[in-house]
Structure 1
């Protein structure tokens, strides 16, 4: 697992806290790897998910750091969503 993915897993688990996430989502970070988020937290994985969010590492980091709104990233084409859009919006609320 590379540093980008390792740091993202730690940051996502910290953001989600004890509440977790009641679905299955996957972040596909271009050139870095994938992260799955579910009720057990975030982990480096390429398991199937209800929704897949794809972005480059810079956009993903900006979302995690709170410098980029996930909805704005989607609307401007920096973030693509494949699958359950409602679940993606719920995840955006967790990340904000």
Structure 2
């Protein structure tokens, strides 16, 4: 899943990677959580700002829900833009 946001003239993309558990029969089970991969781009022309950032929760645990992962990814991108990129 991927979601795009706009913030202060930048485009933010949050892509979710599913983390699946292996069963004892070596088949993949349902997702047990998500990793958020955040990319920031200038809007016009569209160019990447830095490298994509992979996010998990405290303690290196995956996010439990899609909403948690998307929200954390967007909030992280906002902080990067506010702290390092925007004047």
With the length of structure 2 as denominator, give the TM-score of the two structures.
0.29
Structure exhibiting the larger radius of gyration computed from Cα positions? 2
Q: Which structure is higher in helix share? A: 1
Structure (1/2) with the larger strand percentage: 2
